[in-house]
Chains A and B, each alone.
Chain A
């Protein structure tokens, strides 16, 4: 067993030092009936690397990877190119195999990258401060809602009709468990439009998304004004972080809290996780934030250094009075994000965003030119919804046969919302003109 260094001789001599006869002596506090005599039945015994690798490779081979052909799936996770350097950095043992930086004297590497990450997220979202990451975008969104309720001491949360339904579900769950009322506006492609009208004097926050789940980009400045006039907060959500290189960011629209998904920068698709939740807010709200914060200070010699700070908000200090129960976050995914962002720089990010937008424009023009296909999203960044004359599930299955992964059927996300003929499609810098041509050719055959 290659991960266990103790030899039988070691074990015997250690037991002698301890004064125990066998390992069984350590388990005498376990109720007798629950002490297992033999190893647990029904599971295989240990195996060498080669055998394990064979098994896993076989499972992996049953999946079609996004890079293996034309691929247009988005709706909350995006196929982007990740520079080789990023993966090398996150595989460094010093980052990969260390713990949360509770001992700052020997964790300045992690802490400085977190400080840089927070700076980047704050700039990207145009907000005052950002935390050191959340699990993902959906849990960021849920935490933003309950934070807004704490800040305003109100109990009503309003969700736009364009909010990603998984985000809406996670938010509703947490809010309702805490006794808050959640109002979900009607699902709509231009769903942010109704938000401004829905705010009242009992509203803690309105949650809008731009680009929203249908790809629609919306300036939420008017929503922010309506919310603020009534003493409510605006939570501005995004699932595509690359969009912020080009699209109006939460801070420029007057958002009080920005919550989003950072997967697009530095992180692979990974079938949905691990990802990295981004969370930023106005400075005056910082003491109500969930999650870890890294701050600058000095050491005993007066040298600049970094520590986890404002921890009196957190569960390990405040226990039942904490702002959130989060402990482990997405540290290594945040490192992937920050190192990719560092390679891009502000200029590179903007250029990447432009390339994404142009690929989506080309895709929309090409698909929209097909007879019977309608592009539904009025303003978009790198994804949009289309309506086809045939049932979306059938269309996607036939596209699949032609080797094209054509998008997400809207009915998978919105069952019962009469979206059987709507497909959400995305393009990124990975999308080529050939990919787009293949999509159009296959779709033309189908409809």
Chain B
């Protein structure tokens, strides 16, 4: 054994403590952390506020009777609370996050810095417009980028996320139909069975009826099925189609589909969730699209934040542009930017207002920062590298896993579970990836592929990272093919083991409740 001059051992001794239980509940760097309500008290606070003066209340007696009783933490406790919790999360800054359909790309820190400039972060949506000309100019500049990249003449900036953008597009279609006097008769919206769940949900939120169309053997819209659904046309409102679609494939018949829908008197809504595959290389405006939302939190790198906020600007064709929602920014002859906030005058045909204020400004700043950083040349390279990376993953894994469809893919590679031995399922492969240090791929989606595994590496992964990931997944795939039962217990190395979702749903516990004795004492 090596020793230094103080007699301290400097080389490891041999001993096994693999199953070591700890007294603290922490395990090395992974600290145990209870709920904040179990740590703090309602009297504790982590802020120093001045003492109220005791002014006579003007509430007119409309006063809270029972205090919230919410626990607080001192600042050091609060910092530790959230730091400890943060260590239980996987994140794109930590490693490859190949969630198909989610475009988990690098989130540049310059975006964050710019969004925190006080001229953007500390301005009120209703302060006089003369005092926010830079903000309106920024919205206008971002709108110009979005219109140019999509080849569409108009964009609504206010939708708060992708599904909200879908709502925006479908409400515009509804309004256009009302304007044609066909609002009550054209209610049927065609939606491929491979679509994101938000598509049918959105159509129904707008009062439409969903009619599903099948996928063909190539993973595209089944044209025969589509044509049969268009045998009757007088009730057709439109189609909601994702392109590239959720199988990671470009809809080869897209122009044809657009023409058929238009001939039937309907409109073409395109789900732009997968725009990252084509940005700078294909303009949806050249494909016959009437409306499409753009997820700034996917293609344009604004962070997902553990579930949001997103931002879903929605571009429109000439046919739908007049019905776009308020507010929007316009530039007057005197060079001043102005918000059109009411359904009136130049917005007299608008379908109305979807949301308070003007959209996700914080996300606009980040997205424009990203666009300026990449430029037109860089964004084209983004799409190409995203598609190249996905095809590389597909090429490296197609010998051990089962590609769902033949040929090249776009920005995501889709596999079925056909290669797995009986008893081994997609979820087992996904959870085994966690042990290898990766976030799993999207699993069991799209619904048209059995045990689907949808892998979207994005363009911000290096070849070395992709190789390391493919090596890991290849090894798991081989174990799955051989029926390795240990996969059923994965993950073994995560902060938590597999969680009991059935139990959570059967008797939902949706908030913390003080244990009985404390409650009795409080009363």
Contact = CB atoms under 8 A, between A and B. Distances in A.
A300 B385 contact: no
Given A44-B372, A295-B510, A341-B70, A357 B57 contact: yes
Interface string A10-47: 11011101111001011111110111100111111111
A200 interface: no
A372 interface: no
A319 B282 contact: no
B152 interface: no
In this complex, the member of B65, B108, B198, B200 whose beta carbon has the largest number of chain A beta carbons within 10 angstroms is B198
Nearest to B82: A89
Contacts of B375: 43-47
Interface in A97-151: 97-110, 112-113, 115-116, 118-120, 122-124, 126, 129-130, 132-133, 135-139, 146
In this complex, the member of A17, A56, A71, A83 whose beta carbon has the largest number of chain B beta carbons within 10 angstroms is A56
Given A65-B118, A412-B126, A297 B134 contact: no
B9 interface: no
A115 to B, nearest CB: 7
A268 interface: yes
Interface string A162-201: 0010110110111001110000000000000000000000
A294 B382 CA distance: 35
Contacts of A169: 352-353
A101 to B, nearest CB: 7
A44 B372 CA distance: 7
B126 A76 contact: yes
Contacts of A405: 124, 127-128, 131
A29 B249 contact: yes
A98 B81 contact: no
Contacts of A418: none
A408 B342 contact: no
Contacts of B508: 286, 293, 295, 309-310
A254 to B, nearest CB: 13
Interface stretch (A153-161, A227-235, A269-277, A437-445): A269-277
A116 B105 CA distance: 28
Nearest to B507: A295
A217 B163 contact: no
Contacts of B45: 343-345, 347-348, 351
Contact of A326 (B78, B163, B387): B163
A276 B357 CA distance: 13
B496 A116 contact: no
A116 B114 contact: no
Nearest to A379: B60
B267 to A, nearest CB: 15
A60 B378 contact: no
Interface in B277-307: 278, 280-283, 286-287, 297, 301, 303-307
B133 A62 contact: yes
Given A322-B197, A328-B297, A63 B82 contact: no
A334 to B, nearest CB: 8
A109 B86 contact: yes
A88 B79 CA distance: 9
Interface stretch (B222-230, B250-258, B475-483): B250-258
B111 to A, nearest CB: 10
Contacts of A358: 52-53, 55
Contacts of A327: 161-163, 196-198
Interface in A77-108: 77, 79, 83, 85, 87-108
In this complex, the member of B40, B132, B504 whose beta carbon has the largest number of chain A beta carbons within 10 angstroms is B504
A87 B78 CA distance: 13
A202 interface: no
Nearest to A239: B356
Nearest to A338: B36
B125 A271 contact: yes
B468 to A, nearest CB: 13
Given A105-B495, A345-B71, A380-B58, A270 B121 contact: yes
Interface string B357-376: 11111110100110111111
Interface residues on A, range: 35 or more
Given A49-B110, A415-B342, A355 B52 contact: yes
Given A56-B117, A349-B70, A91 B112 contact: yes
A85 B83 CA distance: 11
A208 interface: no
Contacts of B102: 99
B419 interface: no
Nearest to B67: A346
Interface string A324-340: 11111111110100010
B461 interface: yes
A381 interface: yes
A308 to B, nearest CB: 8
A428 to B, nearest CB: 12
A298 to B, nearest CB: 6
B497 to A, nearest CB: 4
A224 to B, nearest CB: 14
Nearest to A10: B463
A26 B163 CA distance: 28
B264 interface: no
A204 to B, nearest CB: 16
B234 interface: no
B360 A412 contact: no
B520 interface: no
Given A119-B37, A298-B499, A11 B388 contact: yes
22 contacts: A3-B374, A5-B460, A18-B395, A31-B255, A39-B379, A45-B377, A52-B110, A68-B118, A96-B112, A97-B303, A139-B355, A167-B356, A246-B59, A248-B62, A248-B65, A252-B64, A273-B357, A309-B505, A332-B306, A349-B70, A358-B55, A380-B58
Given A33-B286, A355-B50, 19 more contacts: A3-B459, A59-B134, A66-B122, A83-B46, A91-B112, A96-B91, A113-B306, A137-B356, A166-B353, A173-B351, A273-B360, A324-B205, A332-B307, A332-B308, A344-B47, A345-B45, A346-B68, A352-B49, A405-B128
